Amino acid sequence: MGMNIRQIEIFKAIMEGGSVTQAAHNLNIAQPSVSKHLKLLEYDLGFALFERSGNKLIATPEGQALFDQVGRVYTGLGFLQNFAEDLRNNQIGELSLAAMPLISQKWLPGCIAGFISAHRKVSFSLPVRSSKWIATAVAARRVNFGIGLRPAGTSPGIQVIPLMRLPFVCVMPPNHPLTEHSAIQLDMIQGHGLIALHSFDGQPLIFETLAKDFQSRERRKIETFAANVACEMVKLGAGVALVDALTARDNLDENLTFRPFLPDTAMDICIMTAVHWPLTRIARSLIAEMTERAQATERELASIIEA
């Protein structure tokens, strides 16, 4: 029969206390119990740990060598306990989050910066990819979770959680004739040079078919896959564009304004997680913070659009 944790605990207490009596006092147990465990430990080990000199115990060289190893074990247990506490308090771990470009420009960095400043032992990876790539990576468990456009149809292997609805608006220069209108419909844009926004990964946006039909009647065709690029082109006088309200808000300055777009059309941004793969505590904590921030962003955008 090998030594057990209780025997090691009592041996350590004797070495630190210098006697069976002090060890019993420190452990709050009876002295005979300490003596019994010590005898059993020496029997199991097959060698003496102490030499008796009257009422004193003097560690043998083997006893001292064992005590040195016990100290290392307890030091390791201390590190293990601290590690477990960090896990419980979401202070340590690794996170891999894949996100679509639109959400990764400003909004997501704001979420992540605040989170990692409060969780300084957490390692973080943020690949920025298309929504289609993200769905595949999440299903294959290459990332903890992803943020992108809601997948069209069924997506085996992933669970979709709504995060944020981003309405489309029409962006234009502040002195543009369309600023006279409180809201913009597609037919109002004819002749003003629509800069068409298309999905980065080929997943069609809700209004793309309408915009395509509209553009066929225009004398020139301008397309981009990035909403912030469309905003920059508008600022430089290349035309007007339909972009999400979040990108419009982030690009507002003296050269850009916007109006609501009708009928109400929006991008549905969602969180994607793998089916049958539980999220870590740290991932769930980050998702909770993102959800709260997304709700605040939706309220802010609604107030700006209605203003």
| Segment among 52-56, 77-81, 82-86, 167-171 with least mean pLDDT | 82-86
The better pLDDT of the pair 229, 25 is held by 229
Give the residue-averaged pLDDT of 256-283: 90
pLDDT band at 2 (very low <50, low <70, confident <90, very high): low
Q: What is the pLDDT of residue 235?
A: 95
- Check residue 234 and give its pLDDT: 94
Find the helix packing angle between 20-27 and 5-17, rounded to 10°: 120
Alpha-carbon span 197 to 207, nearest angstrom: 9
Q: How much of the chain, in percent, has pLDDT values that exceed 90? A: 33
Q: For residue 225, what are the domain limits?
A: 164-267
CATH number at residue 285: 3.40.190.10
143, 190: one domain: no
Q: Could you tell me which of 163, 143, 196, 191 has the C-alpha nearest to residue 267?
A: 163
Which residues are within 8 A (CB) of 164 and not within 5 positions of it... i.e. 6 or more apart?
Answer: 269, 294, 297, 298
| pLDDT surpasses 80 at 181 | yes
- The mean predicted confidence, pLDDT, of the chain is 83
Q: Are residues 154 and 287 in the same domain?
A: yes
Is the same domain home to 179 and 148? no
For range 14-31, the mean pLDDT: 81
Handedness of CA 31, 33, 36, 40 (dihedral sign): negative
pLDDT, position 258? 94
Domain end (from 72, 88, 104): 88
Q: Of 37, 63, 88, which one is at a domain's C-terminal end?
A: 88
Here the CATH number for the domain that contains residue 203 is 3.40.190.290
Parallel, antiparallel, or unpaired: how do β-strands 194-197 and 240-244 relate?
A: parallel
147 shares its domain with 292: yes
Same domain as 252, residue 173: yes
